[in-house]
Homo-oligomer: A and B are copies of this chain.
Amino acid sequence: MAKEIPYKIFLDESEMPTSWYNVRADMKNKPAPLLNPGTHEPMKAEELEGVFCSELVKQELDNDTRFFEIPGEIRDFYKMYRPSPVVRAYYLEKKLGTPAHIYYKFEGNNTSGSHKLNSAIAQAYYAKKQGLTGVTTETGAGQWGTALSMACSYFDLDCKVYMVKCSYEQKPFRREVMRTYGGSVTPSPSNTTNVGRKILAEHPDTTGSLGCAISEAVEVAVSTPGYRYVLGSVLNQVLLHQSVIGLEAKAALEKYDVKPDIIIGCAGGGSNLGGLIAPFMGEKLRGEADYRFIAVEPASCPSLTRGKYAYDFCDTGMVCPLAKMYTLGCDFIPSANHAGGLRYHGMSSVLSQLYDDGLMEARSVKQTEVFEAAEFFARAEGILPAPESSHAIRAAIDEALKCKETGEEKNILFGLTGTGYFDLVAYEKFHEGEMNDYIPTDEELAMYAAKLPKI
């Protein structure tokens, strides 16, 4: 008889992963290299080391090493909030009346409120190890900035966060958490950088964008001695660190002989999705098992489902290397009405390649449907989900309802990346009926696509 599955499956601390898994090692078609924006030649390690920590550059460029040992100091920190549980969504299943078995890996039980801490602590560790004094970064909704502030506080590093101006103004509480951990937060665009001053001169009323905040953070990093820039998503190194999510999830499910049929994650830059699916995708790539993977993105920022697979800039200021990815164009900014996060114009090169190779599906969902799913989930499972995570909830519910029609007992695993305690302005909009579902037109997207660099 199969073991009864508890509501929450926890690993013991002794069962926590000791290495990160690098899915690139098992990819036949490797993700395309970063290019120097001037020469269009692949970026060399020494070029990247002006921006990123040396050890992280190695991780970024290494497409062959399958496992990277997690340093002891990072594993110690992980014990502060990990292992995170895999939750069997018994209440949700019952409320849906589905024969499907739904599981979610819950990454929200920490003060940053999301999975972002997994990579933040790694990046802070390597910065400290290199003898740096501080790091710079950007943050949109604030999850990444909070995570990095916590990580820097732990290693006694200075942390300068450029926060997209509209978020800075709408989310004073996020700012305050970062301050509690000693992070300094500047609304972007700002007068503290050349690129910020240029953007402000051209668009004095701009409310900012992720791409612009990245440009500012990079400028400060490369022009301040002892500083480097760190990024919370998109990059190969980030997906590597986030593989801890998938490794833990797989180990927890294997304890109960559960093999997921469908694995679902929300996708902005790809950090959570890439981390969650990594070890499962590895099995698929090696022909050892098969899984369906579904990336879920907002209909208002549909890089995988409606973008181009092309080289593009990672930032608005075009100071970063070029990355080959599914992209809407580096000037694309989702509608101001969009409240669901996942606003980045591009997508991780790893995930873009896997998607292009037909190894993963993608779908986009409208934000009112996302918030309906969020509220339904909150009432069923007792957790107020982040809007980002709720994209995955939407798709998981839709798949579970299909099972209800067909009577199939599928195992569905999704990533619950975070909590929505700092997103209640968005919930309020939803409750007040002030949320709409603006979707970019084909003409709009074509206009941005036409501006992609010709490579």
Interface residues of chain A, those whose CB is within 8 Å of chain B, are: 6-8, 10, 12-13, 79-81, 91, 109-111, 113, 150, 153-154, 172-173, 176-177, 179-182, 375, 378-379, 381-384, 419, 421-422, 424, 427-428, 431
Contact = CB atoms under 8 A, between A and B. Distances in A.
Contacts of A80: 7, 91, 381-382
A6 B10 contact: no
B111 A173 contact: no
Copies of this chain assembled into the complex: 2
Contacts of A79: 6-8
A145 B182 CA distance: 32
Most buried by B among A10, A113, A150, A382: A382
A153 to B, nearest CB: 5
Nearest to A422: B421
A428 B13 contact: no
A3 to B, nearest CB: 12
A378 B421 contact: no
A111 B378 contact: yes
Given A7-B80, A12-B6, A384 B180 contact: yes
A91 B384 CA distance: 28
A379 B181 CA distance: 6
Contacts of A12: 6
Contacts of A383: 110-111
Given A177-B384, A180-B431, A181-B378, 19 more contacts: A80-B382, A81-B382, A111-B378, A111-B382, A111-B383, A111-B419, A113-B421, A154-B379, A154-B382, A172-B428, A173-B173, A173-B424, A176-B428, A176-B431, A179-B431, A180-B375, A180-B379, A181-B379, A182-B379
Contacts of A172: 424, 428
User: What are the 4 tightest A-B residue pairs by CB atom distance, in nearest-first order?
Assistant: A173-B424, A7-B79, A176-B424, A421-B421
B6 A427 contact: no
B375 A427 contact: no
A176 B419 CA distance: 14
Contacts of A422: 421
A384 B179 CA distance: 12
Contact of A180 (B13, B91, B110, B378): B378
A102 to B, nearest CB: 14
A173 to B, nearest CB: 4
A370 to B, nearest CB: 14
A177 to B, nearest CB: 6
A74 to B, nearest CB: 13
A438 B428 CA distance: 35
A419 B109 CA distance: 11
A421 B428 CA distance: 17
A398 to B, nearest CB: 21
A113 B382 CA distance: 11
A182 B181 CA distance: 34
Contacts of A375: 180
A58 B382 CA distance: 29
A378 B424 CA distance: 23
Contacts of A180: 375, 378-379, 384, 427, 431
A113 to B, nearest CB: 8
Given A111-B383, A421-B173, A10 B7 contact: no
A349 B299 CA distance: 56
A427 B6 CA distance: 37
B176 A382 contact: no
A435 to B, nearest CB: 14
A177 B424 contact: yes
A79 B4 CA distance: 14
A173 B421 CA distance: 8
A340 to B, nearest CB: 16
A125 to B, nearest CB: 15
A120 to B, nearest CB: 11
Contacts of A427: 176-177, 179-180
